[in-house]
Amino acid sequence: MAPSSLQSELLAQIDDFIVFISCVEGLSPETVRAYGQHLEAYADWCESHAVDGLDPSSRGLRSYLAEFRRDGRASTTVAAHLSTLRSFFRWLEYSGHRAGAVPLATVAPKQRRELPHVLTAEELAALFDAPDLSCPAGLRDAAMLELFIATGARISELSRLEVGDVCVAERQVRLLGKGSKERIVPLYARAIEVYERYLENGRPNLLRPAAFGGDACRAVFVSDRGRAMNSDALRYRFDVLKRRAGISSDITPHAMRHTFATELLGGGADLRSVQELLGHASLSTTQIYTHLTPDRLKSAVARAHPRG
């Protein structure tokens, strides 16, 4: 069945929006893919319910979101879909297209904010012992883990890392975060040592199996076949190391980022500095880590309070 004229217009606007957030705003491929999936689900629902997707009623939008709840989806999923719709409708207004105000006014479901998982010292030690340092792939895996914990980078940021982004002389790395925002993160001596060992003894051997040019020659992390590794490839290697280390299956690469932030705050770093190192746009996002470091807060009160 051919789509209606309203459906065709909605799909055309969605396509333009995806191009905008990808090429103009420079959002990560993972974010662009998520937005596309959310809007595809919305367009399908609008077509099946004969709803004008560019001007939905408040009742219609509540009905759409209610289907997620009836399916047992988490409130975070509902909030993510609503957030995507808000971004889409703000873009429609910005672009001069007609846009309903309902998505912008709809209140997101209240979410229970869960504390992020942080690795223990024992888990970190087991994880760092997992790579086989006698082979090129093991040197690569060790460098990946070291840069994870040294920088607090997202896995997408590590996958985009190029050799020129790591300055050994200055002991720092340039990361490209959300919205193509750059930030510089200093590296400690151990991270530089592990990275240099991989760069000298591991990466050249990994590039040999196939003389791929272009991105593979610039990418820091390359596969056993000499190809640049994307986020999925790095995540797979992390899972292999996690199983080898015998640590919880709940641990994800993002837990390394949480551990990085928590360790810094526990060591006395101020919240603003941690915000900058993580690349958070809002300080409120970084503040969740203060719940994990009560001892640090007690120490701060004891040092700074006049009656402490």
User: Can you tell me whether residue 68 is helix, strand or coil?
Assistant: helix
Could you give the CA distance from residue 146 to residue 132 in angstroms, rounded to a whole number? 14
Q: What are the backbone angles phi and psi of residue 269, rounded to the nearest 5°? A: -65, 145
pLDDT band at 209 (very low <50, low <70, confident <90, very high): low
Q: What is the pLDDT of residue 303?
A: 57
Q: What is the pLDDT of residue 1?
A: 42
Say if residue 105's pLDDT is above 80. Answer: no
pLDDT band at 199 (very low <50, low <70, confident <90, very high): very high
**Helices 136-151 and 253-266, interaxial angle, to 10°?**
50
Residue-wise pLDDT tens digits, 143-193? 999 999 999 999 999 999 999 999 999 999 999 887 778 899 999 999 999
DSSP H helical segments within 71-174, as ranges? Answer: 75-94, 102-105, 121-128, 136-151, 155-159
| Mean pLDDT, range 133-139, rounded to an integer | 95
- CA geometry: angle 262, 267, 269, nearest 5 deg: 80
More confident position, 209 or 282? 282
Task: Give the active site residues.
Answer: 154, 178, 254, 257, 280, 289
Residue 162, strand partner residues: 219
Q: What is the pLDDT of residue 114?
A: 57
Could you give the CA distance from residue 145 to residue 137 in angstroms, rounded to a whole number? 12
Q: What is the pLDDT of residue 182?
A: 87
Out of 18-32, 47-61, 108-122, 234-248, pick the least confident. Answer: 108-122
User: 10 Å Cβ neighbour count for 74?
Assistant: 13
Domain borders along the chain are 5-105, 121-301
| Mean pLDDT, range 253-257, rounded to an integer | 89
Q: What is the pLDDT of residue 302?
A: 58
Say if residue 280's pLDDT is above 60. Answer: yes
Long-range contacts of 246-249 (CB under 8 A, 24+ apart): 246/126, 247/119, 247/123, 247/126, 247/127, 248/123
Burial 171-207 (b: 16+ CB within 10 A, else e): ebbebbbbeeeebebebeeebbebbebbbeebbebbb
Out of 79-83, 124-128, 249-253, 268-272, pick the least confident. Answer: 268-272
User: Looking at domain 121-301, which CATH architecture does it have?
Assistant: Orthogonal Bundle (1.10)
Could you give the CA distance from residue 146 to residue 140 in angstroms, rounded to a whole number? 10
Q: What is the pLDDT of residue 77?
A: 82
| Mean pLDDT, range 96-104, rounded to an integer | 59
Out of 75-84, 90-99, 171-180, pick the least confident. Answer: 90-99
pLDDT band at 291 (very low <50, low <70, confident <90, very high): low
Cβ neighbors of 67 (< 8 A, separation 6 or more) are 45
Q: Which CATH class is domain 5-105?
A: mainly alpha
Q: What is the pLDDT of residue 293?
A: 59
Asked whether 182 and 174 are in contact (CB, 8 A), the reply is yes
Could you give the CA distance from residue 289 to residue 5 in angstroms, rounded to a whole number? 49
